[in-house]
Structure 1
């Protein structure tokens, strides 16, 4: 038998074997794999990153402060010359303003001094405001003056106008606060320049952290030409810290905005925030966040 024939016979045998092979069964279908749950978000429920970043890096932030204090300075001497001019709300003007010395009244935090480094530390740590850490920051005396305020307050002092700071910093922080103000270049005439939380005012009942009693104390000695603050409670007593209550408190004084009252921006904290979750700081952070989202407009 030739080699060629042997090869042909071998091929026929191989083909025959293939034709009788049992087909292979298809693999059984496997059960579908359950989707992996997405990891829980790691962003804190009240993350303040954008607000603090804007406060520290956006030139628009600085321009708003410069614009406000420059505008106020351009109006200050006219207010001084007008003997009927007074910037205290009617409930706080408990003594006649006639013949009293002139003054301007300023809140401190985020109105005069920039505390955004403290807010930045909270972002880094993931924590929330607490009195111990806040007091430690105040005692560092490192807060910088906000744009325009040094020039404005020095201009006021130069023209015989007292500069008074009303703050909800605790009274035991008065020495550190006064030292910080001086370091930042702000005029401080003495201890009475700073009226902190806990300042005793005879015959006036303190309502929480409201500043009405301290404004009344000022009204006995000064005709107030202008007020400055980053919250409406810096100007007038807010009896109900909710949307309606805040509107009601401001309604009688809307014409004073930009003439007697100068409001500065603060997106990082303030009474506006707890007004969104019924002032309940005992609620979990996620629940506070849910209520804040619920307050947003989507059209």
Structure 2
């Protein structure tokens, strides 16, 4: 027993010391270390592209739009006074001209959201080289309702004309892509890309007025389709006010002569929010877009 006494005394002393530890000692901190919020890309397009690619509502809007147009097309064809070109673009009388419909291509009849998805994943911005490479892949799908409408028009003797801001040197790839997905293309003249010339008409930037005027020389236009205001009318001042003024005379045409499709991923509406200055740093562009929001 005696050989265990020192050990027992030591244990009791240690226990006594522990029991007499001061209660005022500062306990270990339990505060969580602040975690920095993840940086948001300056022009993050994630929600817009995700909606475009996955939301059923997106597809239903396209189907609804093209079905509505199709239901009105034959009535427009029979009405010899019906024309869907703005007055500035109607440079030749439409009496006795053949009927046509005009459609934009990108985000109107062809879905380029995979290209936008690639930009999001690599954190890049639009550039002409990558865009041309995507177009040459000829992998864009037809948007819902576009094939049925354009085929219906062609079956009734109505020319289907595509006016696009794809460069003219993409004409072969574009026409091949259209045909692959079942969109009718009557020939090279059915695609009027950026750079198409109309003698006597000076094109400003990417505006489509000269190409619409070219169509007006040969066709009575029954309907126009697009995802940008510039697909229908010339926008002289790309500001929110200027855009509203350009559209004001034609509001009654929406849903009968003009059919507007949704595109939240890109468009002329965006640079209108930062004075059309793409050279502005990305974070500053983002701040200007935030300033354009209203919460009341």
TM-score using structure 1 length: 0.88
Q: Which residue is 2:275 aligned to?
A: 278
Determine the C-alpha separation between the residues in 1 that align with 2:180 and 2:53: 20
Q: Which residue is 1:110 aligned to?
A: 107
Shift of 1:38: 5.5
Instruction: List 4+ stretches of structure 1 deviating above 2 A.
Output: 35-43
Q: Which residue is 1:232 aligned to?
A: 229
Are 1:90 and 2:81 matched, yes or no? no
Determine the C-alpha separation between the residues in 1 that align with 2:34 and 2:56: 42
Q: Which residue is 1:13 aligned to?
A: none
Secondary structure of residue in 2 paired with 1:178: helix
1:89-139 Cα deviation digits (max 9, x unpaired): 000000000000000000000000000000000000000000000000000
Determine the C-alpha separation between the residues in 2 that align with 1:132 and 1:43: 26
Determine the C-alpha separation between the residues in 1 that align with 2:190 and 2:170: 13
Q: Which residue is 1:19 aligned to?
A: none
Determine the C-alpha separation between the residues in 1 that align with 2:177 and 2:39: 36
Are 1:75 and 2:86 matched, yes or no? no
Shift of 1:79: 0.2
Are 1:132 and 2:129 matched, yes or no? yes
Determine the C-alpha separation between the residues in 2 that align with 1:60 and 1:89: 31
Q: Which residue is 2:199 aligned to?
A: 202
Shift of 1:298: 1.1
Gapped runs of 5+ residues in structure 1? 1-23, 30-34
Secondary structure of residue in 1 paired with 2:221: strand
Shift of 1:42: 2.6
1:171-210 Cα deviation digits (max 9, x unpaired): 1000000000000100000000000000011100010000
Determine the C-alpha separation between the residues in 1 that align with 2:127 and 2:145: 29
Determine the C-alpha separation between the residues in 1 that align with 2:34 and 2:134: 41
Q: Which residue is 2:19 aligned to?
A: none
1:255-283 Cα deviation digits (max 9, x unpaired): 00000000000000000000011101001
Determine the C-alpha separation between the residues in 1 that align with 2:84 and 2:60: 25
Q: How many residues get paired? A: 276
Determine the C-alpha separation between the residues in 1 that align with 2:205 and 2:38: 36
Shift of 1:39: 3.6
Structure 1 122/96 Cα, relative in aligned 2: closer, same or farther at 3 Å? same
| Matched ranges for 1:47-86 at <5 A | 47-86=44-83
CA RMSD of superposed structures (Å):
2.2
Secondary structure of residue in 2 paired with 1:123: helix
